């Protein structure tokens, strides 16, 4: 048997990151005591390196390697770039927070980078096994990150819930994949597509497989009715970890959906469209209504995430490039807003004090008008009120839904999002209309100050000029393997 | 257009930039700087809007001062501005009101001055944007964005129940507009990928979608106007808002709804408009008559004027759906005139509230003894509010009633009832507040209005009298546009 050496070039970013994770671990072991910020700096360096390598190795067109198990295309490059930037911003926001809580050590950073690696593998996978490999690498790292605060009961409980339910979801996915393997005789996504198009297989087996795969995806996306883990994990885990879980993995999950549903099972759109409609409507309904009742802002944001994921699914279910790119735009905008919002929560937290109650935002306009304004922009963007970018995210998804001929679905979506506006407005109300309960100074580090301001203003700037971001998403979908 | 100079952009962005400048002055230590920058910005905003009138060509039905450049190519959205004889007077009204609001809040607002002034300036620019957008999404962006400053104005500087009022205002108006957004996206699909409002005007549509689109638009605009029965947010918002907020709400924001009917509902779905005109007229008449009676029993002055606003805006929607030139022009005049009068009435109540901190009619009595100059101004505006000939309030109502009688005697009859109820609720309130002996010891301590307040009220008094005696300059500029609009609406799109 001849051994063909595979083309490593498309996977250089992943290989580099893997090496860097080992470096971070070892460096922290050797010098972590004296130089606590070493792991942080090395991690940022690793992400920067990934950006450069991805940029340098990005080639037009679709490149397969490792016997067709790994793909490098525009979608992969753009999503990975966004993942690097997101993780990097997460690390900046988290640094002060985790250092005051004694979590500033190599474990946090190496787990974060392992999770990043998992996301990259997911995004570039063109084979069911690669997809699963990336997903598990991501998930296991996340479980461990949630459990990092080992002296906290809440965090431990959250970690166990997350782990058990996540493992169940992975089981679902594997079972679905095995069904599809049974029906088509292949695990390679491109090959599966071909076989389905010939129609030479049992449709029933295939549909059963699709059901399990959609359920598994919904778990990972935290779409209702598979959303139960999200509020508990958001509440129990430390804010830095929640920020991580809530941001970059959604980008990877979107890549996962694209590879699996849009590409692999794209010709079965009629079968999964109906399932996604139910999931989307339920997510928007449960997410928006349950969020109203929350007093813990992290729980509230968990439900808000669920409703946003409903919108993402709306874009996907239209089943064409236009819908996929609108969905991608929504995810990117969502990540931008989530970063800023959790950044604000960590900004208000101090040593020994978690700003995770809604009341902690009371009178922020009195304490610091600038950050109140940033939070105002983020909240209005989440609610989809112009002139912030949130409205274009909603606009593009609604346009895709109407394009697919579902007028009623668009009407339901806007009415449910109206419910959502209420709880975002409540935060604005707390910040602007109420008196502060504390006069503790807000003293962020220079880099956080700059980045958080830029984050908030980006929501406004993209609101005025969304064209570039939209065109980027459309480009990614058009030049991908889908 | 003057040497290709983007005049409309200037009218929109100058107040917004001035507002950002005011915000940048920071806390209340620089309150005086904030006030002066705000005044300069507001006056400059009015001055740059004047060429819109002087250079306006009243003989063409085309859009004027047009600006057109690509904005979001992905969705074929353009930065497309332009005004006609309907939009131009409303922009002037808005630019005229902003300096008055700034002056009116000069001393009254003492906490977070820069944010207060900044919010009004930014809102002024946003509202100009609503009136001059010719792209549906651009319109929608400005339309929704105008909610944010008003939400904050009511919520931060409002009365005791301000949180309820602010959230109700926001959610109510948002509910209507979201369905309008869906209608826009539907039109985008049907028109083959265009968000241009002028393209929609020419787009043929079957009756069933026309009716659905009409309902979506109706929800957005009826809430804003507000028409009966979706008016309930208005009294709450007015009562809780600070004086400046009430003035802008009544004088400007309600006009957005009326403008929406003329720019969207009538020309885009003319057949549905005709089909449903009876319902619209009925709703308008209910507002005119029934809300008039509701106003009669109010004990709170601001609430009374709020209900009177609903009743007067009933004339506007009535005029639109009569489909004749008198009706539409009368409705337009009524909108402008209501902008002056309701603004002035709220300012008058504000003047008294600043002194006595009560809006209850029962707490006053005999104000004329202590504030004779104020009583004279208040008298003029009360008369205008009840539609006395010689004031602007008369012109609009009279023309609309005439138009209504031409269509159906009973329309005119019911609309005419307002001449009785309007006089009754306004003048009765005036009598109880201003005349008689000094009823309460606290009234004894009220001082007459100062120079700043006289300035604001005098400017409004002049506007009310000028429009009442010589409305021709206003009617002239809208004549061609209205004729063209009616000719367009008369053609079926089926």
A371 at B interface, C-beta within 8 A: no
Mutation to test the A interface, candidates B24, B171, B178, most A Cβ within 10 Å: B178
Please tell me which of the candidates B115, B148, B185 has its beta carbon nearest to residue A402.
B185
- Tell me the two tokens of residue B107: 């001393």
Q: Distance of CA A100 to CAs A233, A240, A341, A440, B32, Å?
A: 21, 12, 20, 16, 42
- Provide the sign of the torsion angle of the four alpha carbons A20, A24, A27, A30, taken in this order: negative
CA angle B189, B191, B197 (to 5 degrees): 110
Q: A345-389: per-residue pLDDT in tens?
A: 888 887 677 888 888 888 888 888 888 899 999 999 999 888 899
- Touching check for B115 and chain A: CB below 8 Å? yes
What percentage of chain B reaches a pLDDT higher than 90?
24
Min Cα distance B287 → chain A (Å) is: 27
Host H or E run for residue A286: helix A269-292
Which residues are within 8 A (CB) of B470 and not within 5 positions of it... i.e. 6 or more apart?
none
Determine what percent of chain B is predicted with pLDDT higher than 70.
Answer: 99
Chain A residue at shortest CA distance from B139: A386
CB-neighbour burial class of residue A274 (10 A; exposed 0-12, middle 13-18, buried 19+): exposed
Contacts of B112 in chain A (CB under 8 A): 365
B115 neighbourhood in chain A, CB within 8 Å: 365, 369
d(CA A199, CA A183): 10
pLDDT confidence band for B487 (50 / 70 / 90): confident
B68 strand-pairing partners = B80
For chain B, the domains span 1-268, 294-493
SS3 state of residue B70: strand
User: Residue B213: what pLDDT?
Assistant: 92
What global pTM score does this model have? Answer: 0.92
Closest CA to A260 of A274, A246, A248, A272: A272
| Residues in A touching B74 (Cβ below 8 Å) | 466-467, 470-471, 474
Low-confidence stretches of chain A (pLDDT < 70) are 1-3, 104, 351
CB interface of B with A, residues 352-411, below 8 Å: none
Distance (Å, whole) CA A292 – CA B215? 29
Tokens of A59: 């080639």
- Closest chain B residue to A408 measured between Cα atoms? B182
Tell me what the pLDDT averaged over chain B comes to. Answer: 88
Which residue, among B22, B71, B185, B212, would best test binding to A if mutated, counting the most A CBs under 10 Å from its CB?
B185
Range B140-160 average pLDDT: 89
> Which residues sit opposite B69 in a β-bridge?
B79
Q: Are B113 and B31 in contact (CB under 8 A)?
A: yes
CB contact under 8 A, B155 and A433: yes
Could you report how far apart the first and last alpha carbons of chain A are, in Å? Answer: 33
Query: What is the rounded average pLDDT of the residues B153-167?
Result: 87
- CA proximity to A413, closest of A428, A396, A389: A396
Nearest partner of A13 among A70, A67, A93, judged by Cα:
A70
Nearest 5°: the CA angle A220, A224, A230 is 55
Q: Residues 20 to 59 of B: which have CB under 8 A from any A CB?
A: 26-27
Q: Cα torsion at A399, A401, A407, A408 (round to 10°)?
A: -130
Residue in the structure block whose two tokens are 């004549």: B479
- What's the mean pLDDT when you consider all of chain A? 89
Which candidate, A144, A149, A168, A153, places its Cα nearest to that of A228? A168
Query: Stretch B468-484: mean pLDDT, rounded?
Result: 86
* Integer Cα distance of B296 and B292 in angstroms: 7
Q: Look at B182 and A398 and tell me if their CB atoms are within 8 Å.
A: yes
Mean pLDDT of B278-298: 90
For residue A402, list chain B residues with Cβ-Cβ distance below 8 A: 182, 185-186, 189
In angstroms and rounded to an integer, the radius of gyration of the C-alpha atoms of chain A is: 22
Q: Which of B391, B393, B411 lies closest to B402 in space, CA to CA?
A: B411
Instruction: For residue B1, name the pLDDT band (cuts at 50, 70, 90).
Output: very low
Q: Which residues of A275-311 are buried (b: 16+ CB within 10 A; e: fewer)?
A: bbbebbbbbbbbbbebbeebeebbbbbbbbbbbbbbb
Which pLDDT score is estimated for A99?
84
Contact A162, A229 (CB under 8 A): yes
The CA-based angle B387-B390-B395, given to 5 degrees, is 55
pLDDT band at B478 (very low <50, low <70, confident <90, very high): confident
pLDDT in the model for residue B33: 86
Best A392, A429, A461 residue to mutate vs chain B (most B CBs within 10 Å) = A429
**Does A162 lie at the interface with B, CB-CB under 8 angstroms?**
no
Rounded Cα gap, residues B200 and B184, in angstroms: 9
Q: Distance between CA A380 and CA A389 in Å, rounded? A: 9
| pLDDT band at residue B2 under the 50/70/90 scheme | very low
Judging by beta carbons within 10 Å of its beta carbon (0-12, 13-18, 19+), is residue B9 exposed, middle or buried?
middle
Q: Could you read off the pLDDT of B335-351 as tens digits, one per residue?
A: 999 999 999 999 999 88
* A47, A88 contact by CB (below 8 A): yes
Asked if the Cβ–Cβ distance from A428 to B151 is below 8 Å, we say yes
Give the whole-angstrom CA distance, residue A432 versus residue A428: 6
Distance from B214 to chain A by nearest Cα, in Å? 15
Residues A74, A476 contacting (CB under 8 angstroms): yes
Picking from A323, A342, A263, the residue whose alpha carbon sits closest to that of residue A473 is A323
Which residue of B9, B17, B74 is the best one to mutate when testing the A interface, meaning the one whose CB has the most A CBs within 10 A?
B74
Interchain proximity A425–B167, CB inside 8 Å: yes
């Amino acid at each position: 048997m001849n051994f063909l050496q595979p083309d490593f070039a498309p996977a250089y970013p992943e290989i580099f990151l893997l090496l860097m994770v080992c470096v971070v671990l070892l460096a922290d072991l050797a010098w972590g005591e004296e130089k606590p910020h070493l792991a942080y700096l090395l991690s940022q360096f690793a992400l920067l390196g990934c950006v450069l390598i991805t940029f340098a190795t990005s080639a037009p067109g679709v490149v397969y390697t490792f016997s067709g198990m790994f793909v490098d295309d525009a979608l992969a490059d753009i999503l990975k770039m966004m993942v690097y930037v997101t993780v990097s911003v997460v690390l900046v926001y988290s640094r002060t927070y985790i250092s005051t809580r004694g979590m500033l050590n190599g474990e946090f950073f190496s787990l974060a980078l392992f999770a990043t690696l998992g996301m990259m593998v997911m995004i570039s996978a063109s084979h069911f096994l690669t997809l699963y490999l990336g997903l598990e690498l991501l998930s296991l790292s996340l479980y461990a990150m949630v459990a990092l605060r080992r002296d906290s009961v809440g965090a431990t409980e959250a970690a166990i819930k997350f782990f058990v339910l996540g493992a169940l979801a992975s089981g679902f996915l594997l079972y679905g994949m095995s069904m599809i393997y049974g029906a088509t005789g292949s695990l390679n996504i491109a090959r599966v597509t071909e076989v389905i198009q010939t129609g030479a297989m049992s449709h029933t087996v295939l549909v059963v497989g699709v059901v399990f795969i959609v359920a598994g995806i919904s778990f990972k996306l935290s779409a209702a009715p598979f959303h139960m883990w999200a509020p508990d994990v958001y509440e129990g885990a430390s804010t830095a970890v929640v920020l991580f879980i809530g941001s970059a993995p959604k980008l990877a999950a979107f890549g996962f959906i694209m590879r699996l549903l849009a590409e692999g099972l794209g010709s079965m759109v009629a079968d999964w469209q109906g399932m996604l409609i139910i999931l989307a409507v339920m997510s928007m309904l449960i997410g928006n209504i349950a969020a109203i009742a929350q007093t813990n802002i992290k729980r509230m944001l968990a439900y808000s995430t669920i409703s946003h994921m409903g919108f993402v699914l709306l874009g996907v279910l239209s089943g064409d490039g236009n819908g996929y790119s609108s969905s991608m735009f929504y995810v990117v905008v969502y990540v931008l807003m989530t970063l800023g919002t959790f950044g604000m929560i960590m900004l208000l937290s101090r040593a020994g004090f978690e700003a995770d109650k809604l009341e902690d935002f009371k009178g922020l306009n009195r304490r610091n008008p600038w950050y109140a304004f940033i939070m105002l922009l983020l909240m209005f963007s989440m609610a989809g009120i112009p002139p912030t970018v949130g409205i274009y995210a909603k606009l593009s998804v609604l346009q895709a839904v109407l394009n697919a001929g579902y007028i009623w679905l668009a009407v339901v979506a806007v009415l449910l999002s109206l419910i959502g506006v209420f709880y975002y407005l409540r935060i604005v109300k707390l910040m602007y209309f109420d008196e502060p309960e504390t006069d503790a100074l807000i003293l962020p580090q220079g880099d956080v100050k700059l980045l958080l301001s830029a984050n908030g203003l980006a929501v406004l700037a993209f609101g005025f000029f969304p064209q570039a971001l939209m065109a980027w998403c459309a480009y990614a979908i058009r030049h991908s393997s889908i | 257009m003057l040497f290709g100079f983007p005049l409309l952009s200037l009218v929109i962005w100058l107040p917004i930039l001035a507002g950002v400048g005011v915000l940048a002055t920071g806390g209340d230590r620089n309150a005086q700087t904030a006030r002066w920058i705000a005044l300069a910005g507001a006056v400059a905003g009015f001055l740059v809007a004047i060429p819109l009138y002087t250079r306006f060509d009243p003989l063409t039905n085309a859009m004027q001062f047009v600006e057109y450049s690509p904005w979001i190519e992905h969705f074929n959205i353009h930065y497309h501005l332009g005004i006609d004889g309907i939009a131009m007077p409303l922009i002037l009204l808005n630019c005229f009101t902003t300096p008055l609001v700034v002056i009116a809040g000069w001393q009254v607002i003492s906490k977070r001055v820069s944010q207060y002034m900044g919010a009004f300036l930014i809102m002024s620019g946003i509202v100009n944007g609503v009136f001059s957008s010719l792209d549906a999404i651009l319109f929608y962006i400005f339309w929704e964005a105008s909610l944010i400053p008003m939400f904050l104005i009511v919520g931060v500087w409002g009365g005791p129940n301000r949180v309820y009022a602010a959230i109700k205002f926001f959610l109510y108006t948002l509910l209507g507009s979201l369905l309008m957004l869906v209608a826009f996206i539907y039109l985008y699909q049907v028109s083959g990928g265009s968000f241009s409002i002028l393209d929609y005007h020419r787009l043929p549509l079957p009756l069933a979608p026309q009716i659905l689109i009409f309902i979506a638009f109706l929800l957005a605009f009826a809430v804003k106007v507000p028409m009966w029965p979706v008016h309930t947010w208005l009294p709450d918002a007015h009562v809780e808002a600070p004086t400046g907020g009430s003035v802008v709400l009544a004088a400007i924001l309600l006009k957005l709804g009326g403008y929406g009917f003329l720019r969207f509902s009538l020309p885009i779905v003319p057949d549905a408009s005709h089909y449903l005109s009876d319902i619209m007229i009925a709703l308008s008449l209910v507002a005119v008559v029934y809300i008039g009676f509701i106003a009669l029993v109010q004990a709170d002055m601001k609430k009374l004027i709020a209900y009177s606003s609903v009743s007067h805006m009933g004339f506007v929607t009535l005029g639109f759906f009569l489909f004749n030139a008198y009706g539409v022009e009368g409705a337009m005049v009524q909108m402008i005139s209501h902008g002056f009068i309701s603004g002035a009435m709220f300012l008058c109540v504000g003047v008294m509230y600043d002194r006595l901190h009560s809006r209850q009619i029962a707490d006053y009595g005999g104000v004329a003894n202590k504030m004779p100059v104020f009583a004279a101004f208040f008298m003029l505006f009360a008369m205008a509010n009840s539609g006395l000939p010689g004031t602007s309030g008369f012109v609009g109502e009279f023309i609309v009633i005439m138009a209504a009688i031409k269509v159906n005697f009973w329309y005119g009859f019911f609309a005419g009832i307002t001449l009785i109820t309007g006089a009754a609720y306004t003048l009765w309130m005036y009598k109880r507040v201003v005349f008689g002996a000094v009823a309460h010891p606290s009234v004894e301590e009220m001082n007459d209005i100062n120079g700043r307040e006289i300035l604001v009220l005098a400017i409004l008094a002049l506007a009310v009298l000028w429009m009442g005696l010589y409305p021709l300059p206003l009617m002239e500029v809208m004549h061609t546009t209205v004729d063209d609009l009616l000719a367009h609406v008369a053609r079926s799109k089926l």
